[in-house]
Amino acid sequence: MDARTSTTRLRIERLRDALIATGTHAVLVPSADPHLSEYLPQRWQGREWASGFTGSMGNLVVTRDGAALFADSRYWAQAEVQLAGSGIALEKTTSGASTQYIDWIATHLQPGQALAVDGQVLGLALAKALRAGLSAKGVALRTDLDLVQQAWDDRPGLPTEPVYEHLPPQAAVTRVDKLARVRAAMAGIGATHHLVSTVDDVAWLLNLRGSDVECNPVFIAHLLLDAAGGRLFIADGKVPADLSARLAADGIQLAPYGEAAGALAALPAQAALLIDPRRVTLGLREAAPAGVKLIEQINPSTLFKSRKTPAEAVFIRQAMAEDGAAMCEFYAEFEASLARGERWSELDVDERLTAARRKRPGFVGLSFSTIAGWQANGALPHYRALPESFAHIDGDGLLLIDSGGQYLGGTTDITRVWPIGSVSAAQKRDYTLVLKGTIALSATRFPRGTLSPMLDAIARAPLWQHGLDYGHGTGHGVGYFMNVHEGPQSISKAIPEPTMAMEPGMITSIEPGLYRPGQWGVRIENLVLNVAIDTPEHNAFGEMLAFETLTLCPIDTRCIDLSLMRADELVWLNSYHATVRERLQPLVSGAALAWLLARTEPLAA
């Protein structure tokens, strides 16, 4: 048993001791914090601490005599390696949103027994599902216990990094204007107060940024708004005095982070509180007095921030160009180095691509941990090379690189696959089918208000024709110098909801893939902007939208099986490469320019 596995077993036993001490029989440790974030500060990475599984999504259940981790197909290979020898079983789920663990808990507990889960990190929707699933079996749900806190002796405290202001010109809409827009939405539905707990909504609404979460420029805080002002619940010392004064001038007062629940409890009986049931925890919901009217709707800020303004789009295009220039510099160096016979590892790719981005104007940091996967590692959609586990780029095959940056004027996310040495006919076929999916969706026009999941099949169709598919979504929303994953839109197999309507200004990824476990993986990803277009019918059938491709980086043509490509697909690819060349050529020189010109040569139709 290695040291890591031994540590995991000890931590699971600590949780079991807490179960016995509290008279409970199982504990659910979700991937969540009091803000229901996707990426978590260290303090709330209890699932990773207890299980050793480092994937960004997954749920751990520990009983007095067993343990299971629930994860979807993006993480199966990773989880099998990281859970080996730990005594924790991997339960494979159908999707990241799956609640299969509820049935598992109901099956493994007996009537009269109890499940513990910290209500401060438990979303309202999940709380309802848990209660419904467990009550039928006679299993009690305890949400007043934090067993992770009891078991984790050296648990990290709240992050202490300072908050800073996102300033003009990149902050193209003022804090006052954003607050006024949200308050108008509150008034429109009769809300006197509004609790905002999601950290990206808080940061966007107040034009503030932070570094409490790796790769996401956000900070830990709650915001309670009323008709005239608001209180920002944040740890002491995180907001500099001058910034605090500017917030106060705009009607936002600071309060200690731990007082959010007390402020809700003190709301007057005639208050009408707007909360987003998918973005507020059970613990905060239960803090509101019984007499307060609850209005459960999506946060207005979630909808507003998904629709970038024309002024913001200008800065986003600039950020994409700077990001593309960085990739030209990196890939030129990378290919020249390989040609000289120098050896690279996946870790080298991560380090040197980050170094190239760091040179670009406006760069703040990465938007997520770089995925550099050589051959079989490229078949793991959320792979990350680590010092203790990585591959060298040797021989022939495919190198998948998924990376992105945070810039003052936007957030980038791009995936490319590069041939190293000779590539096989099978690899070219897979690459081409994925590329066809990327092109098919990128070229699509659709009515404004189309629910985003309805577009998912367009990218999959070229793969489906060959009996192939991929297990992740086709596209996610992207923030504006904000989280790289942003709602409400999602191009995926999700059940469509009204809030997923596609509107002008939304930025979404298009990233179909194909994965051969143990062999190679292919994913080709660009970010696109929803733009309104005129049609020959002059919009007699409603306003139409199209995708403007924002990402600027060549798509390697050496992997393409031209026999599978239609003439219109080649026209799209050549047009895209002409745009990439035109936009990036002024920003690069020397070897990077030569590489750009070579990789954007048009293909014969």
* CA neighbor of 326 nearest in space, from 213, 412, 209, 202: 412
Helix (H, G, I), strand (E, B) or coil at 557: coil
The helix (run of H) or strand (run of E) holding residue 261 is: helix 260-265
Rounded Cα–Cα distance for residues 323 and 361 (Å):
9
Identify whether the C-beta of residue 116 lies closer than 8 Å to the C-beta of residue 61. no
pLDDT of residue 428: 98
Instruction: Answer whether 240's CB lies under 8 Å from 193's CB.
Output: no
**Which residues, 6+ apart, have CB-to-CB distance to 377 below 8 Å?**
346, 383, 385, 391, 400, 521
> Can you point out the beta strands (E) in 227-349?
230-234, 252-256, 272-275, 293-296
Alpha-carbon dihedral 356, 362, 368, 371, rounded to 10 degrees: -20
- The residue written with tokens 């808080």 in the block is 202
How many Å apart are CA 491 and CA 476, to the nearest integer?
6
The encoded tokens of residue 308 equal: 């970038």
DSSP state for residue 44 in the 8-state scheme: G
In this structure, the strands spanning 89-92 and 67-71 are parallel
CB 357, CB 326: distance < 8 Å: yes
Helix (H) or strand (E) holding 89: strand 89-92
Mean of pLDDT over the chain: 94
Integer-rounded Cα radius of gyration of the chain: 25
Residue 237 to residue 229: CA distance in whole angstroms: 21
Per the CB < 8 A criterion, the answer to whether 10 and 182 are in contact is no
Could you identify the residue written with the tokens 């002409």?
A: 578
pLDDT on residue 270: 92
Task: Give the per-residue pLDDT at 382.
Answer: 83
Q: What does pTM read for this prediction?
A: 0.92
User: Residue 22 and residue 151: Cα distance in Å, rounded?
Assistant: 12
**By C-alpha distance, which of 252, 336, 283 is closest to 591?**
336
What class, spelled out in words, does domain 164-300 have in CATH? alpha beta
Asked if 89 and 67 count as a contact pair (C-beta separation under 8 A), the reply is: yes
Domain spans of the chain?
3-151, 164-300, 307-599
Contacts made by residues 69-77, CB under 8 angstroms, sequence distance 24+: 70/98, 70/100, 70/101, 70/104, 72/96, 72/98, 72/471, 73/471, 73/472, 74/380, 74/381, 74/382, 74/471, 74/472, 75/382, 77/379, 77/380, 77/517
- Length of the chain counted residue by residue: 605
Identical fold for domains 3-151 and 164-300, yes or no, is: yes
Separation of first and last alpha carbons in the chain: 58
Would you state the pLDDT for residue 96? 62
Question: Considering the domain 3-151, what is its CATH architecture?
Answer: 3-Layer(aba) Sandwich (3.40)
Tell me if residue 241 falls in helix, strand or coil.
Answer: helix
590 touches 325 (CB < 8 A): no
Cβ neighbours, 10 Å, residue 110: 9
CA pair distance 98, 243, nearest whole angstrom: 42
- C-alpha distances in Å from residue 580, one per residue of 320, 477, 484, 593: 10, 22, 22, 12
Q: How many CA atoms lie within 13 A of 151 on its CB side?
A: 28
Q: Which residues fall within 8 angstroms of residue 139, CB to CB, at 6 or more apart? A: 105, 106, 109, 110, 111, 112, 113, 114, 115
Q: What is the 3-state secondary structure of 105-156?
A: HHHHCCCCCEEECCHHHCEHHHHHHHHHHHHCCCCEEECCCCHHHHHCCCCC
Residues of the chain with pLDDT under 50: 1, 3
Indicate the CATH number of 307-599 among 1.10.390.10, 3.90.550.60, 3.90.230.10, 3.30.230.10. Answer: 3.90.230.10
Angle at 212 between CA 209 and CA 215, to 5 degrees: 80
Three-class HEC string of 224-238: EEECCCEEEEECCCC
